[in-house]
Amino acid sequence: MISAEQLKEAIPLSKVAAELNIPISGHGNGTCPFCDHKSFSARGDVFYKCYRPACPTNNRSSGFKSGDIFTLLIDSGHATDFRSAHSILRRLYDGGAGRQYEVRTSNLSSIFQAYRRAAVAHPVDYLEKRGVRYATGTYPLGYSPSPTFLQDNGFTWQSILDCGLGTKREGYELFSNRVIAPIYDSANRLIHLQGRSLDAESDLRWLSTTQHQPNVSECVFNIQHLDRWKSEFGFVFLTEGWTDCYSLLELGLPAIATFGIQANLLRHARAFEGLRLIAIYDNDTFDWGHSNQGQYKSWTQMLPELIRLDQHSSVEIHCVIPPARSGIKDVNDWLNYIEWDKDRFLDYCESKMKTLFQTAFEIYSPQPDQFPLIVEAAKSTRRSEDLDQLRNLITQNSDWLEFILNHVRT
């Protein structure tokens, strides 16, 4: 039987809403279709929530903190329980959504096999330089030597277009002279490919397959290995992009990655359950003169997402900011600096690991407009020293007192 997770991955929230004439889209804030209040928000085309406590969506006994495609059917009266919701969604899946998904994943798999053979035939210098030598056996990467590589290997132009690997210029494929990473869903189905250019002059360093939900930015690289890593390690590193992820795999450490910093982690909350997530994003900051000067570029974007994940799941999240040393920006620079010494890397992580609150405090303070995020992060802390720090701040800083008073008034 197809699992609830597989249905959720294959069928976007907005599609279910459209099929059943429920007036919501899968993204952003709006009016709640169940109580008519403007306190409704949907995220990532997967979850929705109405923030009005009296809303019927908050009184169901399903135990979900946020609604998904299953509760949407229950909230809207189309299904009475999980089982009947499952059979409606199964019909939607069989009626098109799922078949398209399956056809695409199987076509992408054959294409990736061809790229994989090319990577073995032309060992790629770029990977050697990144320290990625052995990991590629267990965690394969592909390579495309030319813009007609797939056609030269017998793939039709139509099948290339259907997989989101064509360009506007007929006969020219999306990937040429690129290392290619396979992106799977949690059920181990290949759903996207992302190619990194090996041409230093290229304007578009990263290119991904398009035309298919979920978008690449909604995916988590290596998510298909989480179940195995749960029992083997109990923790996993979360990095910015798959190249840093490969550097850690090379050391024999479990690592997943978001695609840059436009990520949606909440969507994968179930897959993370039972794991300790150790986030390592780049340590570079905005230049002086920029409106966010001095602030960490990636962390300011990613931390709200990590806080949301923490609040909607029981995932234990820690953060490690790479050492502030010239020449070290990301995990790969760092590993090069310490000559790929795994113990040294782990010792540093162990001693410098911070809670979400401590990280929020370090990257946002003391800017008053970031107080709400620091307070949100404090909700997740289980450490009394974090709360003491918050107490000191509030009592010693009139901006904080003002913020809290305003917060109470509105």
| DSSP assigned state of 179 | E
> In whole angstroms, what is the distance from residue 22 CA to residue 35 CA?
13
Q: Which is nearer to Zn ion, 35 or 353 (CB)?
A: 35
Candidates 54-62, 110-118, 177-185, 345-353: pick the segment binding Zn ion (CB under 5 A).
54-62
50 binds Zn ion (CB under 5 A): yes
55 binds Zn ion (CB under 5 A): yes
Within 76-124, residue ranges assigned H as helices are: 82-92, 98-121
Candidates 46-54, 79-87, 163-171, 180-188: pick the segment binding Zn ion (CB under 5 A).
46-54
35 binds Zn ion (CB under 5 A): yes
Nearby residues of 181 by Cβ (< 8 Å), 6 or more positions away: 141, 142, 193, 194, 195, 196, 221, 242
32 binds Zn ion (CB under 5 A): yes
Candidates 10-18, 33-41, 135-143, 292-300: pick the segment binding Zn ion (CB under 5 A).
33-41
Q: Which helix (DSSP H) or strand (DSSP E) does residue 269 occupy?
A: helix 269-272
Q: Which is nearer to Zn ion, 36 or 388 (CB)?
A: 36
24 binds Zn ion (CB under 5 A): no
> In whole angstroms, what is the distance from residue 316 CA to residue 224 CA?
19
What x-and-dash track marks residues 171-210 binding Zn ion by CB under 5 A?
Answer: ----------------------------------------
> In whole angstroms, what is the distance from residue 129 CA to residue 336 CA?
10
Is there a contact between 14 and 70 (Cβ–Cβ < 8 Å)?
no
Q: Regarding beta strands 316-319 and 276-280, do their DSSP bridges make them parallel or antiparallel, or are they unpaired?
A: parallel
Q: Which is nearer to Zn ion, 24 or 226 (CB)?
A: 24
275 binds Zn ion (CB under 5 A): no
Tell me which residue of 282, 253, 237, 256 sits closest to 342, measured CA to CA.
Answer: 253
Look at the block and give the residue holding tokens 């404090």: 378
What single letter denotes the amino acid at residue 113?
A: Q
Number of residues that bind Zn ion (CB under 5 A): 6
Q: Which is nearer to Zn ion, 11 or 55 (CB)?
A: 55
Q: Least CB distance from residue 340 to Zn ion, whole Å?
A: 53
Q: Least CB distance from residue 195 to Zn ion, whole Å?
A: 43
Q: Which is nearer to Zn ion, 4 or 35 (CB)?
A: 35
Q: Which residues would be at the binding site for Zn ion (CB under 5 A)?
A: 32, 34-35, 50, 52, 55
